Amino acid sequence: MALVQNERLKLLATALNNLSLSFIVSGVVVPVIGGHLVGGLLTLAWFGLGAALHLCAQIVLGRMRE
């Protein structure tokens, strides 16, 4: 049963990591490419949310069983 749970945790961590990457891309990379930076605080907020989701993915992976 631990193997099934580990695979589910890996899928959840992958989903969280993909979501965090989309936050970072939409909040940081797209405005830079478009040439119109909205504001430093808004960009920092998008990046912070992405980083927080990535940290959540790392925490999920830490719950894997042997």
Q: What are the pLDDT digits (tens) for 21-57?
A: 999 988 888 777 877 766 678 888 989 999 999 999 9
What pLDDT shows up at residue 39? 66
Confidence check: pLDDT of 13 > 90: yes
63 — pLDDT class (breaks 50, 70, 90)? very high
Q: Write out the DSSP string of 15-66.
A: HHHHHHHHHHIIIIIHHHHHT----HHHHHHHHHHHHHHHHHHHHHHTT---
Q: Domain limits of the chain?
A: 2-61
What pLDDT shows up at residue 30? 79
